[in-house]
Amino acid sequence: MSKSSKIRVVVILAVVIALYVIPQSPLTTDNTMRIGLLIALYCTLGLMWNLMAGYTGMVSLGQQIFIGIAGYNVAVFATTFGLPFWAGMFCGAGISVLLSVALSFLLFRMKGMYFAIATWITSEALKIIFTSWEFVNMGGGMTIKLRPYPDVFELYYISLTLVIGAFLVVFFVLNSRIGLGLKAMRDDDDASAAMGVNIFRAKLLCFMISGFVTGLCGALFYINQGSIFPGPGFGISWTVAAVFIVIIGGIGTITGPIVGAIIYVFLSEFLSQYQGYSMIILGVIAIAVILGLPYGIVGTIERKFGFEVLSTRRTMKNLLSGGRANVDYSRGRDLRVSK
Amino acid sequence: MRTNRDMLIVEGLRVNYGDFVAVDGADFRVPQGAIVSLVGTNGAGKSTLIDCISGITKPAQGRVYFKGENITGKPAHEIVAMGLTLVPQGSRCFVRMTVEENLIIGSYTKKARASRMETLKYVYDLFPALYEKRNDLSGALSGGQRQMVAIGRALMSKPELILFDEISLGLAPTVIKDIYVRIREINRSGGVTVVLIEQDVKRSLRASSRCDVMLKGRIVLSGSPGELTEEKIKAAYFGI
Amino acid sequence: MLRKENGSRIEPGMTVGKAGMTVGKAGMTAGRPGTTAGKRWLAALLALAMVCALALAGCGGGASGGGSGDTAGGSGDTTGGDSDSASVAVVPSGDTIKIGIVNPTTGPLAGFGEGSPWTENIVVDYVNNELGGIEVDGVKKPIEIILYDTESNATRCTELTQKLITEDKVDLIVVRHTPDTVNPAVAVCERYEVPCISADEPIDAFLPEGPFEWSFHAHWQLVDLYPQYLSLWDQAGFGPNTGAKVGYLFPSDADGFAWVDGFDTLEADGYTVVDPGRFPADTTDYSDIVRQFKDANVNIVVGCVTNPAFSTFWKQAKQLGFDPDVVSVGKAYLLQADADAIGADLMDNLECEVWWDKSRSYVSALTGLTPSAFAEKYQEESGRNITPPMSSKFTTLEIAVDALTRAGTLDKEAIRDAIAQTDLDTIYGHIKYTPEHTSPIQMTGGQWQKQADGSLKLAVIDNSVATDLPTTGEYIPLKK
C-alpha cells in the first residue's frame, strides 16, 4: 500500500469514527441530528441512483418505487401488525428486491429514455394501486405507530451505518469484475456483451442492490416522517432529489453524492424561508452547475487535480495483487512472443 | 457435411429487422487457421451476419456451428467464453475507461482471466503504442490507436476465432497497412482464425486465404484468391 | 410561456456541457450516442422538475389569483409599520411564545393556503397589541408565528414540521387544510410530543390516524354530510323512496373513497345508484361516464372531485346533452375563485355542502370578530372574497391563544391539557373536543346562484342539519 493511500485510509477512518462519536458530545442537539440524518439518507439515495445512472447508464426515474414500497411496509408492519420497525424495514427492502427482479424482465428490454419513462410509469402505477388499496387506507395514507418511537439519535446511527454500508457496497461492486463490466456497459453495451459481459445479470445485480438499499433508505425516511401517503411516497420528487444530488456532486464519482447531499439538505433547509421559490432556486442552481461544472463539484475537482478520493480505476497491478506485491509487467515487453 | 477443418459453419441463416430481411439464407464456412474475408457493398448484410454469429442479434432461421457445436441464438457472453470474439465496427472502445481497463475487460471471461497477465504482455508487445498510453482514457486516443485497443481487447479474451468488422473504416492508409500486418501476425503466431469484413476487394484478396462475396443477404461467391479474379469478384459484388 | 422558455433553455446547455466532455475529450463516434443520451435525459428530467416547479408556483399564483402576494400586502395595510413584520418573523428571536405553522402556500393546494399570513396576523396583532401578550409563568410574552410553505407536498410538510420543532423550538404547532397537510404534521407532533391544533380536514380522514395524545382537530364529519345532501335532493323533489337515480362521480383518491362510504345507505333509502367506478383523479375524458349517466336517465349527480376535473366533466355533460335535475358535488367549487373559474352560466344552481360562510352568526370569544366582519375586512384590504378555509386559519389560533392563556405556562403537557379542556366560541362555531380529540362543526346546504350582475353567489338554501344557522336564499331548480 502506498503512502498516499495509507493516509487516505486513515483520514476516511477518522471521519467515520468522528461521525459516530460527535453525537455523544453535549453540543449536539436534536436539530443537528435531524440534519445529519437527512444528509445520510439523501446521500444513500444519491449513491444508489448514481450506481445505476452514473456507472451502468440506466437512468431511472423510478427510485420512488422502492421508497414507497418500503415506507408502506414499515407502516403496515408497525401500525397494522404491531411489529418492530426493523422487521418492516428489512421486509420492505426484501420486497423491493423481489420487485426489481420482477420488473427487470420488463424494464431491461428498454434502453435510455424508454427505460427512464418505464420506471416512472411503474411508480405512477404503484401510486394508483396504493391509492385504491383499502388495506393501506387508500389515498388517506397511513400513520406509522411505533412504541417506543425510535428517537432521532437512534435513527441517525442507523442511517449513518446504512450510508457507510452503501458506500462499501458501491465501492466493492465497482471494484469487482462485475463493476468493470458495468462501467463498460455504460459506454457501449453491445460491445461489452461482445467482450463476454452478461449484460442482463450485471444490470439486474445493480437494480437489485439499488432496490435493496433504496428500500432500507426509504423505510428510514418514513420512520423519521411518521406518516406515508401514496402521492408523495411514490412521487417523482424523490428521484429529482437524487438527480440533483448526483449532478451537483458529480455523476460517476463515488464521493460526489456526499457533497451533493450536504448541499441539498442545507439548501432546502435554507430555502424554506422563501415560500414557493425553493424548487425554482434548486433548479437554477442545478442548471448553473451543469453549465459551469459539467462534471459536478467532485468530478471537476478530480479532473483538475487528477485526484480521486476513492478510485475504481483499474490497473493490472492493483487488480492482480490488490496493490500488495510489486508486479512489474512492463518488463514483459521484453519477452518476445515466439514466432 | 461438417468437417473438423471448418471452425465456423453457418447454414441458411436468416435475420430480419422487422419486415426488412437483412440476411437471407446465408451459408458461410471458415476453415481452421484461415484468414477469410467477407466482402460486399454497404447494406449487403455483412455486419448483421457476424453480429448474428457472435450472438448480438438473434437469427430468425438457420444454424451456426462453432467448433462443431451449435451456438445458434446463444447469448453473446457465452459465445465469447467459447473462444469466438467480435471486433465491432468503429472499434467501439469504452471511451470513459483507460486503455488498460479496456484491455482488462477483454479478459472478462473465466477462461481468459486465468492467463490474462500473459495475454496482456502479448498485446502490449504487439501494440507498443498501447503500453505508452495505458493510463489514458481510450476516448482520448486517435482512430488508429482506438482500433488497436479494440483488437487488443479482443485478443485478451483468448479467442480461437476473431471477427473483424470493417477494421479499416475511416483510417489512414498507412495505419491500415500497419493493422493488417498485426492481423497477419495474430493469425500466424497466435494461431487465431480470422474473419475480415471489408469493402476493399483488392486488400482483402491480398490478405486472405479465402474470400466470400455477399450480396443482398446471401453469399454469392466463394473461393481462394487464386480461384477468384478481381473481375469475377466485382461482378458478384455489384450483382452484375 | 415562461415554462417553454425555461424548458428549451436547459437542453442546449446540457448538450454543450456534454459535447465538451465526449467530443472534446474523445472526439469519436462509437461511445457517444449512449453518453449524450444519458446526459440529455438528465437535462430533460431537470427541465421537467423546473417546469413542475414553475407550474406549481404558477398554480399558486393563478388559482388564488396571486394569493400570497396580495395577502402579504394586505397585512401591511392592517397593522401598518413594524409590528407587522415582527409578528411573522422567520428567524426565531427573543423571548416569545412560538407557534409553528405549516401552510400549503404554493402548489395544487394553494387555494386553501390563501389568506396566510394575513389571517394569522389579525390574531397576533390583537394578542400582542391589545392584550400585551399572554402571561406564562408570571411574565407576559408576545406570541410569534413561524410559518413555512409545504409546497402542497406531504414529505416537505413533515420535514418542515420537524424543523419547526427541533430547530425553531416552537411551543405549539398549528396546521390546517386537507389530509395531505394535516396528517403528516400531526404524525410528527405525536412523535415529538408537541401539542398540535388542526382543522380543515373531514374528521373521518383524521380519526383513522389516531388514537391521539397531542393533537386536536375540528372540522365537519361524514355523518352530517349524508342527511345534508339528502335534504338538498328532497328540496328538488328527489327525496328518499322517490325512485330517483343517483350517478356517482367519485374518483380514486382519498376523498373519493371516503365520500363513497358516506353514501353506502343510498339504496336502502330507495335510490338507484349508477356507479361508473372509481376513475383516476386526473381523468380528462368523462364522455364514457356521461354516457352511462345519460343512458340510465340519472336525476342526481353526486361526487367529490377537483375543480378542473369537475369543469371538464360538466362541460362534456353539456356537450353530450346530459341534463340532470340536481348536481351536488363537494370540493370542486368550495372556493369562490373555483366557481368563477368554471363560469357563472355553467355554475348557476349547482349545489354543495357549506361548512362555513360569512352569514353564520358566530362570534369570536377572543376578539369579538364575526364571520361577516372578518369577510368585510378581507374584502377591504385585499379586494378579494373570503374563503371558508380562512376561517380555519383564524380559529386554530383562537384555540391556541385560549389554551395558552389557560395553561399559563409553556410546559407542553400543560398546554395539551388546556387544549383538551377547550370550551370556546370561535368564528368556526363552538369548539369542545370529544375524548377522541375531535370537535365537529356545523354544516348547511348551499347553491351557487347567478346574480343579476352576472356574478356568482353561494346561497345557503338548507339548514335542516344545523337548524340554528340562517339560510340566505331559496332553492332554484337547475335549468335544462
Residues C258-293 pLDDT 10s: 788 889 899 899 999 999 988 877 788 899 999 999
In a domain, A86, yes or no: yes
B-chain residues within 8 Å CB-CB of A198?
75, 77
The domain in which residue A242 lies consists of: 31-324
3-state secondary structure of C394: helix
3-state secondary structure of B94: coil
Q: How far is B107 from chain A (nearest CA, A)?
A: 8
Residue in C42, C46, C158 nearest the CB of A227: C158
Flag whether pLDDT at A179 surpasses 90.
no
Please tell me if residue C393 touches chain A, with a CB cutoff of 8 Å.
Answer: no
In a domain, A212, yes or no: yes
In a domain, A1, yes or no: no
Q: Residue C475: left if φ>0, alpha if ψ -120 to 50, beta else—which one?
A: beta
C-chain residues within 8 Å CB-CB of B137?
25-26
Whole-number pLDDT of residue A254: 84
Whole-number pLDDT of residue A315: 56
> Residue C64 — pLDDT band, cuts 50, 70, 90?
very low
Q: What average pLDDT does this structure show over A143-170?
A: 88
pLDDT: is C345 or A132 the higher one?
Answer: C345
* Per-residue pLDDT reduced to its tens digit, C140-189: 899 999 999 888 888 889 989 999 998 889 999 999 988 888 988 998 99
User: For residue C315, which of C292, C285, C335 has the smallest C-alpha distance?
Assistant: C285
Please tell me if residue A14 touches chain C, with a CB cutoff of 8 Å.
Answer: no
CA distance A229 to A131: 8
CA distance C220 to C199: 9
The rounded percent of chain C whose pLDDT value lies above 70 is 80
Whole-number pLDDT of residue C14: 32
User: For residue A208, which of A55, A311, A102 has the smallest C-alpha distance?
Assistant: A102
User: Which amino acid is present at B89?
Assistant: Q
Mean pLDDT taken over chain A:
82
> Residue B101 — pLDDT band, cuts 50, 70, 90?
confident
Cell 473462444: give the residue: B83
Whole-number pLDDT of residue C306: 85
In a domain, A317, yes or no: yes
Please tell me if residue C22 touches chain B, with a CB cutoff of 8 Å.
Answer: yes
> Residue B232 — pLDDT band, cuts 50, 70, 90?
confident
Are the beta carbons of C166 and A152 separated by less than 8 Å? yes
Flag whether pLDDT at A50 surpasses 70.
yes
> Residue A189 — pLDDT band, cuts 50, 70, 90?
confident
Residue in C22, C25, C31 nearest the CB of B94: C31
Beta-sheet pairing, A142-143 with A227-228: antiparallel
Whole-number pLDDT of residue A3: 67
CA distance C258 to C411: 37
pLDDT: is C57 or C304 the higher one?
Answer: C304
Q: Is the separation of the CB atoms in B168 and B198 below 8 Å?
A: yes
C-chain residues within 8 Å CB-CB of A236?
52
Whole-number pLDDT of residue C352: 92
Pairs of residues, one from chain A and one from chain B, whose beta carbons lie less than 8 Å apart = 115
Residue in B88, B122, B189 nearest the CB of A194: B88
CA distance B184 to B182: 5
Whole-number pLDDT of residue A304: 78
Cell of A270: 435554507
Neighbours of chain C (3+ CB pairs under 8 A): A, B
> Residue B70 — pLDDT band, cuts 50, 70, 90?
very high
Are the beta carbons of C22 and B95 separated by less than 8 Å? yes
Whole-number pLDDT of residue C83: 34
Which of C15, C45, C252 to substitute to test the interface with A, most A CBs within 10 Å?
A: C45
Q: Which residues of A touch B (CB under 8 A)?
A: 177, 180-181, 183-184, 186-188, 190-199, 252, 313-316, 319-320, 327, 329-330, 332-333, 335-339
User: Which amino acid is present at A8?
Assistant: R
Whole-number pLDDT of residue A329: 43
In a domain, A329, yes or no: no
Whole-number pLDDT of residue C61: 35
Are the beta carbons of A283 and C49 separated by less than 8 Å? yes
Q: What average pLDDT does this structure show over B22-46?
A: 88
* Per-residue pLDDT reduced to its tens digit, C195-219: 999 999 888 888 877 789 999 999 9
State how far Cα B112 lies from the chain centre.
Answer: 18
* Per-residue pLDDT reduced to its tens digit, B102-138: 888 888 888 888 888 888 888 888 888 888 888 888 8
Cis peptide leading into residue C142 (ω within 30°):
no
Are the beta carbons of A195 and B157 separated by less than 8 Å? yes
Please tell me if residue B47 touches chain C, with a CB cutoff of 8 Å.
Answer: no
Any residues with CB less than 8 A from the CB of C11 and at least 6 apart, and which? C40, C43, C44, C47
> Residue A309 — pLDDT band, cuts 50, 70, 90?
low
In a domain, A338, yes or no: no
Flag whether pLDDT at C337 surpasses 60.
yes
Flag whether pLDDT at C59 surpasses 50.
no
Chain C residue with CA closest to A79: the answer is C209
Cell of C222: 361524514
Please tell me if residue C29 touches chain B, with a CB cutoff of 8 Å.
Answer: yes
Please tell me if residue A188 touches chain C, with a CB cutoff of 8 Å.
Answer: yes
Any residues with CB less than 8 A from the CB of A275 and at least 6 apart, and which? C68, C105, C106, C148, C149
Q: What average pLDDT does this structure show over C22-51?
A: 45
Whole-number pLDDT of residue C39: 54
Flag whether pLDDT at C405 surpasses 80.
yes
Any residues with CB less than 8 A from the CB of C38 and at least 6 apart, and which? A53, A57, A59, A112, A186
Identify any residues that bridge with C197 across adjacent strands, giving them in sequence order. C174, C216
Q: What average pLDDT does this structure show over A185-196?
A: 82
Identify any residues that bridge with B221 across adjacent strands, giving them in sequence order. B213
Overall number of domains in chain A: 1
pLDDT: is A286 or C373 the higher one?
Answer: C373
pLDDT: is A278 or B16 the higher one?
Answer: B16
Pairs of residues, one from chain B and one from chain C, whose beta carbons lie less than 8 Å apart = 32
CA distance C237 to C241: 11
The rounded percent of chain B whose pLDDT value lies above 90 is 12
**Dihedral angle computed from the Cα positions of residues B213, B218, B220 and B221, in that order, rounded to the nearest 10 degrees:** 40
Q: What interface predicted TM-score (ipTM) does this complex get? A: 0.79
Residue C208, Cβ density class (10 Å: 0-12 exposed, 13-18 middle, ≥19 buried): middle
Give the angle subtended at the CA of A305 by the CAs of A300 and A307, to the nearest 5°.
90
Please tell me if residue B97 touches chain C, with a CB cutoff of 8 Å.
Answer: no
Are the beta carbons of A279 and C183 separated by less than 8 Å? no
Distances (CA, A) of C148 to A53, A75, A269, C88: 34, 26, 11, 11
Mean pLDDT taken over chain C:
79
What CATH number is given to the structural domain containing A189?
Answer: 1.10.3470
Whole-number pLDDT of residue C56: 45
Chain A residue with CA closest to B77: the answer is A196
Whole-number pLDDT of residue C94: 55
**What is the residue-wise DSSP string for A152-199?**
HHHHHHHHHHHHHHHHHHHHHHHHSHHHHHHHHHHH-HHHHHHTT--H
Q: Which of residues 108-137 of C touch A (CB under 8 A)?
A: none
Number of H helices, E strands in chain C: 18, 17
- Min mean pLDDT across A128-142, C77-91, C106-120, C355-369 is at C77-91
Are the beta carbons of C205 and A140 separated by less than 8 Å? yes
Q: Is the separation of the CB atoms in C194 and C431 below 8 Å?
A: no
Whole-number pLDDT of residue C51: 54
Whole-number pLDDT of residue A322: 40
Q: What average pLDDT does this structure show over A216-222?
A: 93
User: For residue A226, which of C185, C325, C146, B41 has the smallest C-alpha distance?
Assistant: C185
Chain C residue with CA closest to B92: the answer is C30
Flag whether pLDDT at A316 surpasses 70.
no
Whole-number pLDDT of residue A334: 36
Flag whether pLDDT at A337 surpasses 60.
no
Chain A residue with CA closest to B80: the answer is A196
CA distance C137 to A222: 37
Flag whether pLDDT at C105 surpasses 90.
no
Chain C residue with CA closest to B141: the answer is C26
CA distance B195 to A62: 44
Which of C21, C29, C32, C35 to substitute to test the interface with B, most B CBs within 10 Å?
A: C29
In a domain, A339, yes or no: no
Q: Which residues of A245-276 are buried (b: 16+ CB within 10 A; e: fewer)?
A: bbbbbbbbbbbbbbbbbbbbbebbbebbeebb
Pairs of residues, one from chain A and one from chain C, whose beta carbons lie less than 8 Å apart = 193
Please tell me if residue C34 touches chain B, with a CB cutoff of 8 Å.
Answer: no
Whole-number pLDDT of residue B170: 80
User: For residue B201, which of B164, B175, B229, B172 has the smallest C-alpha distance?
Assistant: B229
Sign of the C-alpha dihedral computed for residues A179, A185, A187 and A191 taken in this order: positive
In a domain, A11, yes or no: no
Q: What average pLDDT does this structure show over A45-63?
A: 88
